[in-house]
Amino acid sequence: MYYELYIDVFFLENFMMDSLLLCLVNRIMKCGRPAGRLIAGAAVGSLLACLVVAVPMPGICRMILFHTAVPGLMLYTGTGIRKPGGFIRAYALLYGCAVFTGGMMGLIRPYMRAAGVFYGAAVLAYAGFMVFWKLLARLRGRGEDLIRVSLYTEQGAVEFTALVDTGNGLRDFVTGDPVSVLGPRAAEKIPGVDGMQAGFRLIPYRCVGGDALMRVFRVSRMCVHMKEDKWIDRPLLGIGDAEVSGRGGMYEMLLNPAVIAE
């Protein structure tokens, strides 16, 4: 018994599915990557899958490559995630999306007779997973309040996961600018932060223990990675007395919602 494989059809089906999977990962993890990069990642994944199928090799090697190198390079190209923790979460999410969408399509695949129906079913599977994820997020109380933020200084850049804190209405009493808050350890990750000590100043704020003073300073730029990246020049940041690391360390920064709204 043998199977006849049309490599062009195999590439197109993989490309379409990989594109949808990368779109899901990009949207859920709020990577903010443009469509062109996601398409490039899907193309890389599909080409590698075709190579693994076409090149003679032992079955165990083919299986290992299909589950490691192919999705790994596809994720790296499409999302650009470099941090090990973030990459592992993206990898697990990719497989979760694949299982969900593959299961939905498997239910109706026997009834498919045209490629257009297959593509339509894939899009419906994508929409179904997003509905499922939003319901799950609401049940777990996460919503869509976690977001990636990049801070830029003259010495370099650093990226944090931030919580859009609707309870943070802190503003500079002089300029009226909104203040986003970092913990002491997170602040130490900002390139050149030690050289900014002269630029620190104190502003009053109210906390659980009463009135206190917070050190605030400015960095060159900040990018809030949303569906469309939002750039803020000279944002104002504050350093709290305690660490900002709720939900098991899932975020390191409290983003003032006025930063996004203004």
Give the count of domains, the chain.
2
Q: State the number of CA atoms in the 13 A half-sphere of 72 facing the CB.
A: 10
Low-confidence winner among 8-17, 193-202, 246-255 (lowest mean pLDDT): 193-202
Shared-domain flag, residues 102 and 75: yes
Q: Which has more pLDDT, 207 or 86?
A: 86
Evaluate if residue 252 carries a pLDDT over 60: yes
Give this prediction's pTM: 0.51
Task: Over range 106-117, report the average pLDDT.
Answer: 56
Residue 116, H or E segment: helix 115-139
Last residue in a domain, options 87, 120, 139: 139
Fill in the DSSP letter of residue 34: -
pLDDT, one tens digit per residue, over 121-144 is: 666 667 776 676 666 555 554 445
Check whether residue 150 and residue 135 sit in a common domain.
Answer: no
Would you place residue 223 in the very low, low, confident or very high pLDDT band (cuts 50, 70, 90)? very high
Same domain for 157 and 128: no
Phi and psi for 42 in degrees, rounded to 5?
A: -65, -40
Distance (Å, whole) CA 140 – CA 157: 32
Do residues 156 and 145 touch, judged by C-beta distance below 8 A? no
> Do 80 and 199 have their domain in common?
no
What is d(CA 59, CA 74) in angstroms, rounded to the nearest whole number? 21
pLDDT in the model for residue 151: 93
Asked if residue 116 belongs to a domain, the reply is yes
The per-residue pLDDT for 152 is 93
**DSSP 8-state code for residue 209:** T
- Of 250, 180, 255, 249, which Cα lies nearest the Cα of 214? 180
> Is 129 in the same domain as 153?
no
Neighbours of 94 (CB within 10 A): 22
Report how far residue 43's alpha carbon sits from residue 22's, in angstroms, rounded to the nearest whole number: 11
Is the separation of the CB atoms in 123 and 17 below 8 Å? no
**Predicted confidence (pLDDT) per residue in 150-191, tens digit:** 999 988 899 988 888 777 778 888 888 889 999 888 888 898
Domain assignment present for residue 2? The answer is no
Structural domain boundaries, residue 110: 7-139
Tell whether 100 and 156 lie within a shared domain.
no
Residue that wins the pLDDT comparison between 79 and 141: 79
| Least trusted range by pLDDT, from 37-51, 79-93, 102-116 | 102-116
According to DSSP, the β-strands at 146-153 and 210-218 are: unpaired
**Tens-place pLDDT, residues 50-70:** 898 888 888 898 888 888 888
Q: Which of 53, 56, 43 is nearest to 5 (CA)?
A: 53
Query: Among the three residues 117, 139, 161, which one is the final residue of a domain in this structure?
Result: 139
Q: Are 163 and 143 contacting, i.e. CB atoms less than 8 angstroms apart?
A: no
What mean pLDDT do residues 198-206 have? 73
Q: Which sign, positive or negative, has the C-alpha torsion 137, 37, 234, 197?
A: positive
Q: Are 157 and 191 in contact (CB under 8 A)?
A: yes
Q: Are residues 37 and 98 in the same domain?
A: yes
The pair of three-digit structure tokens given for residue 137, joined into one six-digit string: 């997020």
Per-residue pLDDT at 222: 93
| Inside any domain, residue 118 | yes
